[in-house]
Amino acid sequence: MHSIAKFSPQPNNEYAFDEIFNVDSSYMPNGVGKTFTRNIWYYAVAGNDLKPGKMIAKTMLGEPVLVGRDSNGVAFALKDVCPHQAVPLSKGHFDGKQVVCCFHGWAFNTSGVCEQIPSLSECQDQAICSKFKAKSYPCREVQGNVWVFFGDRTENLPDVPEAPGLEGLSSDKTKSTLFIPTHIDYAVAGLIDPAHVPYVHNAWWWRSAKSMKEKVKKYVPEATGWTMVKHKPAAHSIAFKLIGRFIETEISFRLPGCRLEYIQFNGRTILSGITTLTPIDDTHTEMNHTTYWTIPFIAPIVTPIVNYFVKEFLGQDKRIAEMQEIGLRSNPKLSMFVKDAGMPGAWYFQLKKEWSESQSEGRAFENPIKESVLRWRS
């Protein structure tokens, strides 16, 4: 495991971090690369990967988690540890109603309550079973994706992030997964950074550093993040050059690490996407990108095309993250955020800090982001 990079202004920087971004930079060395946002939902699995009677073992936020779907089609999540003698429950079997441990046959319902201990004799009180419980997590399925809640709250849970622009529309979807060898903080910084696009995502069909132009975008605070308000996309790609005057897009970010985007053609959503970041542990993050399209009967055509381009994009991001991981091993001092393109990255840490403090203080979250117009070249 690499050491966590600390942040400090470099000699050539005109201003210190907190002077540029009006945030408490002292929070960052203590929190960046070390903490996870809690009392919030994290993407677990695609719903169509979880058939009735099936369970999937995952590590999320450093915790072993079993995600399953019962015989009635309802998704659930348990800690993947038998409370008897710690064997992973996922190593046992699931009949759609009970998860049975492979060590002693203890059987747990989908809420984690033990319902059967085979070694008990007939003269023993069977009611003792219910005293043993595997930890359960709140679990919801939204837009065909299964989410797990990590935290100590049991009521008034926050909303699950959703891909935008799909209200009232039927859609098909496809999903791609990428594993990033860094803490979620670094993965988020890369996900929302506009300055890397012409370098990392350099391709003949998209854009290159030679096509960099001045960008002016309006951002507004919304929910647990912000939204880059609807605008016409830059005419870098071949497709946008052909039909760009009919297209508008809107891009958003939500805690803990969700990038949302939709594309409209003549005012109707044709594509929508949600990219989610889920920590595996302190130095590994799982990225899942789900694309939805609303034009019917074109799945055989759209699916391979979308999968190809998403795979190319994610592969480029993975390669740069692997290079970054090498650099992070030396515990460097970094100046990660340069105005204005770096502002979303600074906002992320403001949001993360405010969410953590609001949860610990038992008060409502107050979005610290202010409406802004950002300018950069990309």
pLDDT digits (tens, 9 = 90+) for 52-62: 999 999 999 99
> Which residues have a Cβ under 8 Å from the Cβ of 136 and sit 6 or more positions away?
76, 77, 78, 79, 110, 111, 112
- Reported as type and span, the H/E element at residue 300 is helix 299-328
Q: Given this model, what pLDDT does residue 242 score?
A: 54
Cα-Cα-Cα-Cα dihedral sign, residues 279, 281, 283, 285: negative
Residue pair 201/188 in contact by the 8 Å Cβ criterion = no
All structural domains of the chain: 6-36+159-377 (3.90.380.10), 46-150 (2.102.10.10)
Examine the pLDDT at 195 and tell me if it is beyond 50: yes
Residue of 313, 51, 361, 64 lying closest to 207 (CA atoms): 313
pLDDT of residue 27: 38
Q: How far apart are CA 184 and CA 85, in angstroms?
A: 32
Contact 195, 189 (CB under 8 A): no
Q: Whole-angstrom Cα distance, residue 2 to residue 366?
A: 33
Please tell me whether residue 279 adopts helix, strand or coil conformation: strand
Average pLDDT, the chain: 86
Per-residue pLDDT tens digits for 84-133: 999 999 999 999 999 999 999 999 999 999 999 999 998 898 899 999 99
The per-residue pLDDT for range 139-182, each reduced to its tens digit, is 999 999 999 999 998 888 999 999 999 998 988 888 999 999 99
Angle ∠(83,89,93) on CA atoms, nearest 5: 135
Average pLDDT value for residue range 295-302 = 72
Q: Which helix (H) or strand (E) holds 21?
A: helix 17-21
Positive or negative, the CA dihedral 101, 102, 106, 107 is positive
Q: With cut-offs at 50, 70 and 90, classify the pLDDT of residue 24.
A: very low
